[in-house]
């Protein structure tokens, strides 16, 4: 079963959106396998966003993502990486469709509420950056047979 890394960013935590966001992925049928409230260090932020190191907004991005606690999550399910990206909506909330998380709750690209891995490679890398193996639970939920 595929896994992805999702994270409620500091703006989402401050705006009391943790529950709403968890609810959307639970209701869809995905399974939570790990989660924690944490404050990202500058070092972890730079590793997480390494692909953007040369971009003009990199400093701003690192400053923002370390500015308060985030809610880091590992989710599991068929095709969860791509489907979670669809549920998040476009990077710029002004282009994100209503019904998506960014479309419903975001206003600017700098404060777009949620992060989600964009490929199996980044999911693997990001899960490894944020979680130790013993923080992820492998378990069978009773409703699985009613979802697949
Ligand atoms: P994604 O989060 O949808 O995968 P990426 O292109 O990987 O989008 O960008 C990472 C994050 O960097 C975005 O979620 C957004 O918060 C921030 N970002 C992207 N472009 C800009 C920009 O032009 N100005 C400020 N922040 C940006």
pLDDT digits (tens, 9 = 90+) for 110-129: 999 999 999 999 999 999 99
Residues ≥6 apart with Cβ < 8 Å to 126: 5, 48, 117
Give the confidence band of 84 by pLDDT, cuts at 50, 70, 90.
very high
Q: Which of 66, 78, 82 is nearest to 122 (CA)?
A: 82
48 lines ligand 1 (CB under 6 A): no
Give the confidence band of 93 by pLDDT, cuts at 50, 70, 90.
very high
For residue 3, how far is the Cα from the chain centroid? Answer: 12
Sign of CA pseudo-dihedral 22, 72, 93, 120: negative
Q: What is the DSSP letter of 137?
A: -
What is the per-residue pLDDT for 131? 98
Burial of residue 140 (CB within 10 Å: 0-12, 13-18, 19+) is exposed
Terminal Cα-to-Cα distance of the chain (whole angstroms): 12
Compute, in angstroms, the gap from residue 148 CA to the centroid of ligand 1: 33
110 lines ligand 1 (CB under 6 A): yes
Sheet with 114-116: strands ordered across: 31-38, 70-76, 3-8, 114-116
What is the per-residue pLDDT for 92? 98
What pTM was estimated for this model as a whole?
0.97
User: According to CATH, what is the number of the domain 2-136?
Assistant: 3.30.70.141
Instruction: For residues 6-27, give the mean pLDDT.
Output: 98
Q: At what angle do helices 80-88 and 18-28 cross, to 10 degrees?
A: 130
Compute, in angstroms, the gap from residue 26 CA to the centroid of ligand 1: 25
* 85 among annotated binding-site residues: yes
Query: What is the interface pTM, i.e. ipTM, of the complex?
Result: 0.97
Catalytic residue among 4, 71, 96, 115: 115
């Amino acid at each position: 079963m595929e896994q992805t890394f999702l994270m409620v960013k500091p703006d989402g935590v401050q705006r009391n959106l943790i529950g709403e966001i968890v609810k959307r992925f639970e209701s869809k049928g995905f399974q939570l396998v790990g989660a924690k409230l944490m404050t990202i260090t500058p070092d972890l932020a730079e590793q997480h966003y390494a692909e953007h190191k040369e971009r003009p907004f990199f400093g701003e991005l690192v400053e923002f993502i370390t500015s308060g606690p985030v809610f880091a999550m590992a989710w599991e399910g068929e095709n969860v990486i791509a489907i979670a990206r669809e549920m998040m909506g476009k990077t710029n909330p002004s282009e994100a469709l209503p019904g998506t998380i960014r479309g419903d709750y975001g206003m600017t690209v700098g404060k777009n509420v949620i992060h989600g891995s964009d490929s199996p490679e980044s999911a693997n890398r990001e899960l490894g950056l944020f979680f130790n193996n013993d923080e992820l639970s492998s378990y069978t939920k009773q409703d699985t047979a009613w979802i697949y």
